[in-house]
Structure 1
Amino acid sequence: MIYLNYNNLDAETQERLLSDSKADVKRRFGSDLKAYAEKHYLNFEDVLHEEAVKNLYSYTYVFNI
């Protein structure tokens, strides 16, 4: 069995997964993140990006070879 993490993937795949992760985080926690960003005077996109990266490491990657 092959175990890979996010860092082992090529740049194109990383970007696609990051985009998917951002959409997932925004769908699940968007209003909470927006409120947090406004409360602490942070850029919402920066907060979203940080949370999306954290979310990437909770994924299990399955590949068909």
Structure 2
Amino acid sequence: MIYIKFQDLSEEKQEELFQVSREHVIHLFGESIQKYVDETGADYNKLIDEEMIKNLYTYNFVFNI
């Protein structure tokens, strides 16, 4: 679970959440995505970014108001 203060949805906080999600995706799926990229020639960063956004929807957020 990720705890966020409601008033702290600044651009910096959003970037921090993106970075956490990106690292999580690379940890979980980095090798399989790299293998897919090697086989197909797809863009690694684009695939990671797409999975990063999807991954954010799997987190449980708690907002303290």
Task: Report sequence identity in percent.
Answer: 37
Q: Give how far 1:43 is off.
A: 1.5
**Deviation above 3 Å: which 4+ runs of structure 1?**
none
**Which stretch of structure 1 is more off in the superposition, 31-40 or 10-19?**
10-19
Which amino acid is the alignment partner of residue 32 of structure 2? D
| In structure 2, distance between residues paired with 1:39 and 1:15 | 31
| In structure 1, distance between residues paired with 2:51 and 2:38 | 16
| In structure 1, distance between residues paired with 2:13 and 2:57 | 14
- Given the two structures, how large is their TM-score scaled by the length of structure 2? 0.75
- Given the two structures, how large is their TM-score scaled by the length of structure 1? 0.75
- State yes or no: 1:51 paired with 2:45: no
Aligned length: 57
Please list every run of 5 or more consecutive structure 2 residues that lacks an aligned counterpart in the other structure.
1-8
Q: Which has the higher contact order (CA 8 A, sep 6+)?
A: 2
| In structure 2, distance between residues paired with 1:40 and 1:18 | 26
Output one character per residue of 1:38-58: Cα deviation in whole Å (capped at 9) or x when no partner. 212112111111101110011
3-state DSSP class of the match of 1:55?
helix
